[in-house]
Amino acid sequence: MKFFVDTADVNDIRELNDTGLLDGVTTNPSLIKKSGRDFLEVVEEIAGIVDGPVSAETVALDHVTMLKEGRKLAAIADNIAVKVPLTIDGLKTCKALASDGVMVNVTLCFSANQALLAAKAGAAFISPFVGRHDDVGFDGMALIEDIRTIYDNYAFDTEILVASVRHPVHVLEAALIGADVATIPADVIRKLANHPLTDKGLEGFLKDWAATGQKIL
């Protein structure tokens, strides 16, 4: 499963990219606001930090303007994935951009039928929001399972990009289902490596090693 980080904070992106574990980045208008940065500038900077796809979201609601925005965003760098909302205008724009060879990430997906439409529109990625689904009493991961089944039934190339990830169990369940990508907040990525028994075991090994009085270097 590919790991994207869900942030526009370039410090977090640089730190995680240096681990070699990062496969891409997703942003959205709320994350851009949180960064306090100029949108086009920070997206260009992020696209220069990571090799993988960097999602940058359009903000128009109509197809004509959304398409112009998408083409402008795609021109920033070869690894830009243009994000469009799961609306009829978003799907029309996805179809047009995809036919131009542009990577499109269709976002704000909350049903399997929506995901089916995005695949038919040629999306490179579909972003079902599991955390927000859970927040209103639905099972976000059941949605991922349904999309996985549908995409496998028809061999769609669209990659399932699990979004609105809130904790390590979302990542685990996404991997067990066979999602292609999870876009994960930086602090959740860091939590994935943590386990108290690992810490305890390492402490014990180093204590016993110290008792040998030996050195490797």
Name the residue nearer to ligand G3P (CB basis): 68 or 166: 166
**Among the options 2, 33, 34, 83, which is catalytic?**
83
**What's the Cα-to-Cα distance from 145 to each of 168, 170, 217, rounded to whole Å?**
18, 13, 50
Name the residue nearer to ligand G3P (CB basis): 64 or 169: 169
- Figure out which of the listed residues 17, 93, 158, 164 binds ligand G3P, where binding follows CB under 6 A: 164
| Distance of alpha carbon 19 from the chain centroid | 17
- Figure out which of the listed residues 3, 5, 6, 80 binds ligand G3P, where binding follows CB under 6 A: 6
**What's the Cα-to-Cα distance from 127 to each of 24, 106, 182, 202, 213, rounded to whole Å?**
14, 6, 9, 38, 54
List helix spans (H) across 18-75.
29-35, 39-49, 63-74
Q: What residues numbered 107-146 form the site for ligand G3P, per CB under 6 A? A: 129, 131-132
Burial of 136 (0-12, 13-18, 19+ CB in 10 A): exposed
**24 has which bridge partners?**
4
Contacts of 48 (CB under 8 A, 6+ apart): 77
| Local structure of 10: helix, strand or coil | helix
Least spacing, CB of residue 73 vs ligand G3P, in Å: 16
Nearest residue relative to ligand G3P (C-beta): 164
Name the residue nearer to ligand G3P (CB basis): 24 or 70: 24
| 83 tagged catalytic | yes
Q: What residues numbered 169-188 form the site for ligand G3P, per CB under 6 A? A: 183
Contact status: 168 vs ligand G3P (CB under 6 A) = no
Contact status: 26 vs ligand G3P (CB under 6 A) = yes
Contact status: 29 vs ligand G3P (CB under 6 A) = no
Least spacing, CB of residue 197 vs ligand G3P, in Å: 29
Name the residue nearer to ligand G3P (CB basis): 34 or 195: 34
**What's the Cα-to-Cα distance from 18 to each of 14, 15, 23, 27, rounded to whole Å?**
6, 5, 11, 19
* Binding footprint of ligand G3P, residue count (CB under 6 A): 9
Name the residue nearer to ligand G3P (CB basis): 28 or 93: 28
CA 177, 134, 178: angle at the middle one, nearest 5?
Answer: 10
The residues that are catalytic are: 83
Question: What residues line the site for ligand G3P (CB under 6 A)?
Answer: 6, 26, 28, 129, 131-132, 163-164, 183
